[in-house]
Amino acid sequence: MKYLILTLALILSFAGCMRKSPQLVWSEEFDNGSQLDTLSWNYKYGDGCPNVCGWGNNELEIYTDDPRNVRIENGVLVIEALKTDSVWTSARITTQGKQTFTYGRIEFKAKLPSGVGTWPALWMLNDKIDQIGWPAAGEIDIMEHVGRRPGVIQSSMHTQSSSGNTINTGMIDLPTYDAEFHIYAADWNKDRITVSVDGQEYYTYQPEEKNKDTWPFDSPFYIIINLAIGGNFGGPVSPDLTRARMEVDYVKVFQ
């Protein structure tokens, strides 16, 4: 009898593990020829004017959908910032209104640019950002890197209670950020958001008191990939910098 009980316990335990195992619910492998899948992605355009010139951060780039700035090469998304006649162009793509997620594991495999003044980011915004406004709607910065601090990967959560130079920030050193692809991920549930690089967790956001000011993260959020130049966080741009290249192999969401 005791062996039967033990066997049943093992079966139930295994079944429980199977139920809890995250499943892939959406992925972008960037294998749709040379163009983005516009059923999932949008392009951002311009410099943010007239409402938020410089994208609210005094950034220098103008976003385009020009293949020189954003394209797919051999199954990899390439976002390339270019300086032409003192004008910077780059790209930002989003899944706003097309692919949104509440909770789960959001995972990017990416290789980052180098150069003082570069500011690549993998992040998320509330799908109702236009109605609610920032920072009340919330922002999840899964990965940010600025070229003036080479190899320092940063993740931040922006809320009504702390935004901009937010205290809700963690960092990790990654010397090969620009030489190799790495996996940047956020594991997000109703209680906390934990970020990691290549499986190494380095920051968890879990406020002691959860309210609309500290936790706007129970709503659908969309994905953003961009490469900014300069700005409040990116800092002064090296006069020798004329181009910078960011590559993303895939984006995956598990729930």
Output the pLDDT for position 135: 96
Q: Which of 59, 107, 144, 247 is catalytic?
A: 144
Mean predicted confidence (pLDDT) in 164-180:
96
**Residue 164: pLDDT band with limits 50, 70, 90:** confident
Mean predicted confidence (pLDDT) in 184-202:
99
Which residue is associated with the tokens 């993303």? Answer: 248
Which three-class secondary structure state does DSSP give residue 30? coil
Quote the domain boundaries for residue 82.
23-254
Alpha helices, H only, the chain: 2-20, 129-132, 231-234
The pLDDT tens digits of the residues spanning 200-235 come to 999 999 999 999 999 999 999 999 999 999 999 999
Q: Is the pLDDT of residue 180 over 90?
A: yes
Predicted TM-score (pTM) of the model is 0.92
Output the pLDDT for position 1: 52
Question: Is 85 among the domain residues?
Answer: yes
Mean predicted confidence (pLDDT) in 72-78:
97
Question: Is 161 among the domain residues?
Answer: yes
The pLDDT tens digits of the residues spanning 37-59 come to 999 999 999 999 998 999 999 99
| Number of domains forming the structure of the chain | 1
Output the pLDDT for position 18: 52
DSSP tag of 54? G
Other residues' Cβ atoms within 10 Å of the Cβ of residue 111:
18
Q: Is the pLDDT of residue 104 over 70?
A: yes
Question: Is 10 among the domain residues?
Answer: no
Question: Is 157 among the domain residues?
Answer: yes
b/e code 219-237 from CB counts within 10 Å (16+ = b): eebbbbbbbbbbbebbbeb
> Residue 27 forms beta bridges with which residues?
252
Q: Which of 28, 80, 107, 139 is catalytic?
A: 139
Output the pLDDT for position 13: 54
- One-letter identity of residue 29: E
Question: Is 13 among the domain residues?
Answer: no
CATH number where 141 lies: 2.60.120.200
Q: What percent of the chain is modeled with pLDDT above 70? A: 93
Active site residue 144: yes
Active site residue 247: no
